[in-house]
Amino acid sequence: MKISKKSELHVSIPTASMPDIVFMLIIFFMVSSVFKQYDGLPVKVPSAVVTKKIEQGKRDICYVWADRKSRVMIEDQLVEPRRISEIVYPKLIDNPRLLVALKVDQEGEMNIVNDIQVALRNASALRIVYATRFK
Amino acid sequence: MFVGERRARVAEIPTASMADIAFLLLIFFLVTTTIDSDKGISLTLPAMGEDFKVQTQIITNILINDAGQVLIDDANVGLQQVRETISQIVQQSPLDENGRPRQIFSILTGKLTKYGIFIDVLDQVKQAGATKISIAEPRE
């Protein structure tokens, strides 16, 4: 009796669509990544145990920076604290979900923080976040 | 004269390395994108003119002076004991209709108080389970 030889199997994964898959991944990353538009002042934010992640997209967050020399920056410009309301108010009209993140240096003084808060209240931007680090 | 037929040339771009190029690009974007999430302590400010009177006995005043010393209900408290002191007050506090402590904690700072100390105190007050926190305008 003749035993038939096992036919050799050529197994190969089709790789023709590989570039398409990879390109799709690239396009996903290119579209979803937001490049930093503004850079603020050099600050060292304080740390806190109750720090929570902000569950809101970067596009809905407006940053206010205040450093230890009491300089205040918003949208890449140094401003007087009470002028913040003029900048924040139109933004809030455009985007009612706007959240204001205060990036204040831990050596900063409270009167600056208060001036910013008063300006934000004047602009009815009431949802704020004190930016902190995890302790 | 014999005119030779032009041979149809098949020009092809090699696509075998396309995947490699695409992978390189992908890895570049993967490495260079930084997904730094924002984090912090969120709170809602009261609207302008939204002042109302509350009974003084349910308010605990937390005062922080310019030097960073803390005074809770007229008693000097070290920065490390804030949490303990507040949680005792929270436990003794009567509950409101939602089952949350009624006690209001008012944090008053000096104008020159360091923001870091304010956050430290706010952090401890939150850790102690206080839900009603008010931030007063700094005084001289």
Q: What domains lie within chain A, and their CATH numbers?
A: 47-134 (3.30.420)
Which residue from B26, B29, B40 is facing A132, i.e. has the nearest CB?
B40
Looking at residue A130, what is its pLDDT?
93
Q: What is the pTM of this model?
A: 0.75
Q: What is the mean pLDDT of residues A67-90?
A: 90
Nearest-CA distance from A3 to chain B in Å? 41
pLDDT at A4 over 70: no
- Residue A48, SS3? strand
**pLDDT value of residue B107:** 92
Mutation choice for B interface testing from A33, A44, A109 by most B CBs within 10 A: A109
User: Looking at residues A37-51, what average pLDDT do you find?
Assistant: 83
What pLDDT is attached to residue A43? 87
User: In order of start, what are the domains of chain B with their CATH numbers?
Assistant: 56-135 (3.30.420.270)
Query: What token pair was written down for B120?
Result: 């430290």
Q: What tens digit of pLDDT does each residue of B15-73 get?
A: 778 778 878 888 887 888 766 678 999 888 888 876 777 777 788 899 999 998 999 98
3-state secondary structure of B82: helix
C-alpha–C-alpha distance, residues B51 and B73, integer Å: 22
Please tell me whether residue B136 adopts helix, strand or coil conformation: coil
What is the per-residue pLDDT for B123? Answer: 93
